[in-house]
């Protein structure tokens, strides 16, 4: 697997781990799949239930951090290597903060108040920086948290591969670029669920460990690589077609 898809796959694992951890330990709240919170809030409003405060806060916080990351990107757009490091460091810092705070409280017992809210918001900030990276740095805006588009792309590609008896080159390319993201997210969800069950409220340490390891890998790996050119969308405002749907 080449680096152009290996890195997004690693991010998919982190998104899956983070999302399932917040869902299990913070009262059914999505930290990566922000559109899921919109669905839950709408259902709560219509049925007369009080909306989840963390789910409500997640939306403006996600937008604010994404806007902040974009502003930072515009300032250092000529150095995409530095931008990658900055955004991955921010992701690792937010998830590490969430993990550290999880040791100070029993968040799952009272997920709608106090430190539990801060833990959830830290996870949202981490996912906002991840999504900002995906829409700013790579030449294509991949989705590591919302798998619907990736599933459709993989299904269409696989169908075309079978219909062409493996001769459809474009379909093979799309399949190779989509299935690792699906596998990474599903694997991350399973790892996160196992971690939450194994260590309870301190399960927030699992996504933090993955994020820190990814940051270390990027820092070490880039020492022996030539920095990539910044994508055209930063310089000319152009947008590359997305592989799948994104937040």
SS3 164: coil
pTM score: 0.84
pLDDT at 28 over 90: no
CA dihedral 121, 123, 125, 130 (to 10 degrees): -160
Percent over 70 (pLDDT), the chain? 87
CA angle 236, 83, 239 (to 5 degrees): 30
Give the separation between CA 76 and CA 41, rounded to whole angstroms.
36
Contact 62, 34 (CB under 8 A): yes
Lowest model confidence (mean pLDDT) among 59-63, 74-78, 86-90, 205-209: 74-78
pLDDT category at 226 given cuts 50, 70, 90 is: very low
Lowest model confidence (mean pLDDT) among 81-90, 167-176, 225-234: 225-234
Number of H helices, E strands in the chain: 9, 0
Give the separation between CA 96 and CA 43, rounded to whole angstroms.
32
Contact 62, 129 (CB under 8 A): no
Cα–chain center distance at 186 = 13
- Give the tens place of pLDDT for each residue, 106-135: 988 888 888 999 999 999 999 999 999 999
pLDDT category at 222 given cuts 50, 70, 90 is: low
Q: What is the mean pLDDT of the chain?
A: 86
pLDDT category at 78 given cuts 50, 70, 90 is: low
* Domain 3-227 grouped into CATH 1.20.1250: yes
**Cβ contacts of residue 2 below 8 Å, gap of 6+?**
none
pLDDT at 231 over 90: no
Enter the tokens of residue 147: 């798998």
């Amino acid at each position: 697997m080449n680096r152009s898809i290996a890195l997004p796959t690693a991010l998919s694992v982190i998104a899956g781990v983070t999302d399932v951890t917040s869902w299990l330990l913070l009262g059914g709240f999505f930290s990566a799949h922000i559109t899921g919170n919109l669905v839950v809030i709408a259902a709560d409003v219509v049925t007369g239930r009080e909306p989840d405060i963390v789910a409500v806060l997640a939306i403006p916080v996600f937008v604010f951090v994404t806007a902040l990351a974009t502003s930072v990107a515009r300032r250092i757009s000529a150095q995409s290597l530095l931008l990658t490091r900055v955004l991955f460091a921010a992701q690792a810092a937010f998830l590490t903060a969430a993990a550290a705070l999880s040791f100070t409280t029993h968040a799952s017992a009272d997920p709608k108040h106090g430190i539990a809210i801060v833990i959830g918001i830290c996870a949202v900030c981490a996912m906002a920086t991840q999504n900002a990276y995906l829409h700013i740095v790579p030449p294509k805006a991949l989705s590591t948290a919302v798998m619907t588009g990736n599933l459709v792309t993989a299904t269409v590609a696989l169908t075309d591969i079978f219909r062409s008896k493996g001769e459809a080159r474009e379909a093979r390319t799309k399949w190779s670029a989509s299935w690792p993201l699906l596998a990474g997210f599903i694997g991350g969800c399973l790892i996160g669920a196992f971690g939450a069950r194994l260590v309870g409220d301190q399960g927030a340490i699992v996504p933090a460990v993955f994020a820190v390891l990814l940051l270390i890998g990027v820092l070490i790996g880039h020492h022996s690589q030539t920095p990539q050119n910044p994508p055209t969308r930063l310089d000319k405002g152009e947008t590359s077609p997305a592989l799948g749907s994104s937040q």
